[in-house]
Structure 1
Amino acid sequence: MKRNVVEMVLGAVVLLVAAYFLVFSYKASNVKSTNGYAIHANFAEIGGLSIGSDVRMSGVKIGNVSSITLDQESYLAKVTMSIASDVKLPEDSSASVASESLMGGNFLNIEPGAAEESIANNGYIQYTQDAQNLEKLLGRFIFSLQGSESENETAE
């Protein structure tokens, strides 16, 4: 009987520690739904962008990616963002898929335009820049080095 009580107390302590860890990790992750308005943008390549990724302007989070779908007519990735209601984006703003670091973690970067009019709810960002594929860039760099080495060898 004494062993059962010890096991129950130990089990309760483990559950409390696990619950505390879950609450702490949720608060530390900064996961908050952005209540605001929806804006769409089309991209040919979104890389590792995913639902819940940050939408930033000047390095400050202003929203998050709420959905990613394939446009059946243009075959482009349609990214829907939820932007904080206190942030008004000029109509000529641009969006680009940026990388957090070399290890991954993409986000949407918004460059504000200079237009007087703001993008309305369910409006579109017309100017977009696709994600840069690191493997392709490295491949181009390596092949350009190999090309210059072979030119040097033939010149000698």
Structure 2
Amino acid sequence: MAASAARGRNWAEIATGAVILVVAALFLAYAISQSGRSLGGGGGISLTARFDRIDGLAPGADVRIGGVKVGSVVEQHIDPRSYLAVLRLTVQPDIAIPEDSSAEITSESLLGGKYVNLVPGGSDSMLKDGAEITITQSAVSLEALLGRFIFSVTELNSQNGQQQNGGEAAPAQPAPGATPAPARP
């Protein structure tokens, strides 16, 4: 009787483990399908683009047209001759991209990730598999912009202070409630 109960419990454990593995596989398949990535080599048009800087852009990032995902960044590397960042992109095969299109690296939000935005041109001839997008706009560094803004405001404040004081620095004022220092002879 005890052996029969142990055997039944073993089968129950095996069945439970199998159900858990099936559910995990379903979650994995769902996650891959919703991310836009695939397990295979994937079809699509392969394009390259060169940028001065790609701050925060990683392989797997979206490629979008008009805010709609149409592909992804597959690879990134540095060109050893020009020191430009080279991106290899894949775009859905049913999307025809004019030859005079441009690619720009854009932020999703102030704190969000980055993606490649393709701006279609007006050419009648389309980019073919393996072609290069030659019109590019690199990522804008929010830190550099913020630094320039702070520097500009500081510089503007110091210029305004000098103009109000007739070009001379204002004498230091004692803090409220402090005793002024005696004048030197």
Q: TM-score range by the shorter chain?
A: 0.7 to 0.9
For residues 57-76 of structure 1, the C-alpha deviation after alignment (integer angstroms, 9 at most, x for no partner) is 00111111111111122111
Residue aligning to 1:142:
150
| TM superposition score normalised by structure 2 | 0.73
Q: What are the residue-to-residue correspondences of 1:21-40 with 2, within 5 Å?
A: 21-32=27-38, 35-40=43-48
Residue 79 of structure 2 corresponds to residue 60 of structure 1: no
Which of the two has greater strand per residue?
1
Residue aligning to 1:77:
85
Residue 56 of structure 2 corresponds to residue 48 of structure 1: yes
* Closer, same or farther: CA 28–82 of 1 in aligned 2, 3 Å: closer
- Between structure 1 and structure 2, the one with the greater Rg is 2
Of the structure 1 ranges 24-33 and 108-117, higher mean CA displacement relative to structure 2 is found in 24-33
CA RMSD of aligned residues (A): 2.5
Residue aligning to 1:91:
99
Q: Distance in 2 between matches of 1:22 and 1:133?
A: 35
Return the structure number with greater relative CO, CA threshold 8 A, min gap 6: 1
* Closer, same or farther: CA 21–56 of 1 in aligned 2, 3 Å: same
Q: What residue ranges of structure 2 are gaps of 5+ in the alignment?
A: 165-185
Runs ≥4 in structure 1, deviation > 3 angstroms? 5-9, 11-34
Of the structure 1 ranges 77-86 and 25-34, higher mean CA displacement relative to structure 2 is found in 25-34
SS at match of 1:45: coil
| TM superposition score normalised by structure 1 | 0.85
SS at match of 1:81: strand
Q: Offset of 1:101 from its aligned partner?
A: 1.6
Q: Distance in 1 between matches of 2:138 and 2:24?
A: 41
Q: What residue ranges of structure 1 are gaps of 5+ in the alignment?
A: none
Q: Offset of 1:104 from its aligned partner?
A: 3.0
How many corresponding residue pairs? 156
* Closer, same or farther: CA 29–138 of 1 in aligned 2, 3 Å: same
Q: Distance in 1 between matches of 2:110 and 2:13?
A: 46
